[in-house]
Amino acid sequence: MRLLAVETSCDDSAVAVLDQDGNSLAELVSTQVVHSSHGGVVPEIASRLHMTVLPRLIREVLDLSGTSLDEIDVFAATAGPGLTGSLLVGLSWAKAAAVALGKPFLGINHLAAHLHIHRYSAVEFPAVALLVSGGHTMIFRVPSWNQFILLGTTRDDAAGEAFDKTAKLMGLGYPGGKIIDELAENGNPLEIVLPSPMGNKRTPEFSFSGLKTAVRLVWEAGNISQENLSACFRKTVCDLLVSKTMYQAGKLSAKSVLVAGGVSANSLLRSSFDFECRKRGMALFVPPMKHTMDNAVMVGRAALSALENDPLAHSESSCNTFPRWHGEILSPLSY
Ligand code: KG4
Ligand code: ZN
């Protein structure tokens, strides 16, 4: 069985072909660098670029995997959350291909997809999952692959957004997470103490907007280097993410901790989780670097998971895009 997955929720066009065991036979991501000069993603430009790039990407991935389009058994694409114009390009393409070839189509939740990057790893349950990206910061209780129960989210900015805004403040590029992470390696994380809003580790909720204001005031006062401010900011955010996730993991006697989303590329976040999980004898799952960012392998694995749960699982042809997700239990399939 071969599945073709498409991801176009934001500014990355991604396509992958997977086999029934979740192995990636071929995968490509095309990142739209044009947004960096605008200091953030411009939705109109993003959707137009997906329109241009996606057909070529699909052709290349099919060639790389040695598969022809009519050998694809299932089509999957991200339905949301994300930018409507961007989502429409990938979703419409996958739907149209499925209808034309008489194959099933699955619309996939992008948040569930990020977490399903670990779907074919040896995860033991119960687990606790942290989804941390440019748009989301969420902790889930995970009794099995079929249930991601939301414990808490952010009240304002997402962690990745806070990284991006801090980078913008210091006149660095977009997206800023990687740049801050690199600068922080040469900075002193103890140079100043930044506030930790909603800092109680027992509260599985986050707030980053107060931190953003504090960072701005410190930067505008002008007595700190980019390296030191990056290090202090990174430490504050990582401490919040790790302490809250590990508290829930301990409380729920988790055997595994899953981390996913763009910010899971952060080197301090990865080493801190590694240290804390080793200390408690819990298994840690962080994606390989190329799968921390938006990719289509995660979309494909989420679709395979839905099919494993119900071999007849599919989305209706009326399946629409959605900009935000407001549920309590996260599931891969969008109808
Ligand atoms: O998951 P993702 O690719 O897109 C969304 O679904 O949002 O995440 C992108 C986010 C951006 O905010 C980016 O700055 C952040 O991930 N990011 C990082 C790092 N690499 C990417 N944040 C902190 N440290 C990094 N090394
Ligand atoms: Zn994402």
Q: Report CA-CA distances (Å) from 36 to 87, 180, 333.
A: 20, 15, 32
Ligand 1 pocket check for 164: Cβ under 6 Å: yes
Q: Are strands 127-132 and 105-109 parallel, antiparallel or unpaired?
A: unpaired
Task: Say how many Å lie between the first and final Cα of the chain, rounded.
Answer: 22
DSSP string, 246-274: HHHHHHTT-SEEEEESGGGG-HHHHHHHH
Nearest CA-CA partner of 147 in 169, 164, 125, 163: 125
Residue 148 and residue 220 in one domain:
yes
Dist. CA 287 → ligand 1 center (Å): 13
Any idea which residue has 């694809």 for tokens?
72
Residue 141: what pLDDT?
A: 98
Residue whose CB lies within 8 A of the most ligand 1 atoms, among 239, 263, 264, for a mutation test: 263
Do residues 147 and 262 both lie within one domain? yes
CA angle 116-120-123, nearest 5°?
Answer: 85
Per-residue pLDDT, 299: 98
Q: What does the pLDDT read at residue 40?
A: 81
pLDDT at 38: 83
Q: Is the CB of 10 under 6 A from ligand 1?
A: yes
Q: Is residue 136 part of a domain?
A: yes
Residues 151 and 105 in one domain: no
**Is there a single domain that holds both residue 197 and residue 276?**
yes
Query: What's the pTM value of the predicted model, to 2 decimals?
Result: 0.96
Q: What is the pLDDT of residue 35?
A: 85
Give the per-residue pLDDT at 34: 87
> Is the domain of 218 the same as that of 87?
no
Residue 54 sits in the same domain as residue 193 = no
Are the C-beta atoms of residues 133 and 262 closer than 8 Å to each other?
yes
CB environment 150-171: b (16+ within 10 A), e (fewer):
bbbbbebbbbbbbbbbbbebbe
Domain stops at, among 269, 288, 307: 288
Q: Is the CB of 82 under 6 A from ligand 1?
A: no
**Residue-number span of the structural domain to which 270 is assigned:** 123-288
Q: Is the CB of 29 under 6 A from ligand 1?
A: no
Helix (H) or strand (E) segment spanning residue 233: helix 226-251
**Do 142 and 253 fall into the same domain?**
yes
Q: Which CATH number is 213's domain given?
A: 3.30.420.40
pLDDT tens, per residue, the chain with 335 residues: 999 999 999 999 999 999 999 999 999 999 998 888 887 888 999 999 999 999 999 999 999 999 999 999 999 999 999 999 999 999 999 999 999 999 999 999 999 999 999 999 999 999 999 999 999 999 999 999 999 999 999 999 999 999 999 999 999 988 899 999 999 999 999 999 999 999 999 999 999 999 999 999 999 999 999 999 999 999 999 999 999 999 999 999 999 999 999 999 999 999 999 999 999 999 999 999 999 999 999 999 999 999 999 999 999 989 999 999 999 999 999 98
Whether the CB of 204 sits within 6 Å of ligand 1: no
Please give the Cα distance from 6 to 142 (Å, whole number).
26
Residues 268, 131 share a domain = yes
| Helix pair angle (159-169, 209-221), 10° resolution | 20
Tally of domains in the chain? 2
- Classify residue 48: in a domain, yes or no: yes
The answer to the question of residue 131 being in a domain is yes
167 and 128 assigned to the same domain = yes
Indicate whether 335 belongs to any domain. Answer: no
Q: Which two tokens stand for residue 148?
A: 């991601």
Q: Tell me, what DSSP letter sits at residue 212?
A: H
- Do 295 and 262 lie in a common domain? no
Closest C-alpha among 273, 165, 180, 191 to residue 234: 180
Q: Please state, as a whole number, how many other Cβ atoms lie within 10 Å of the Cβ of residue 222.
A: 6
273 and 301 share one domain: no
Statement to judge: residues 139 and 280 lie in one domain: yes
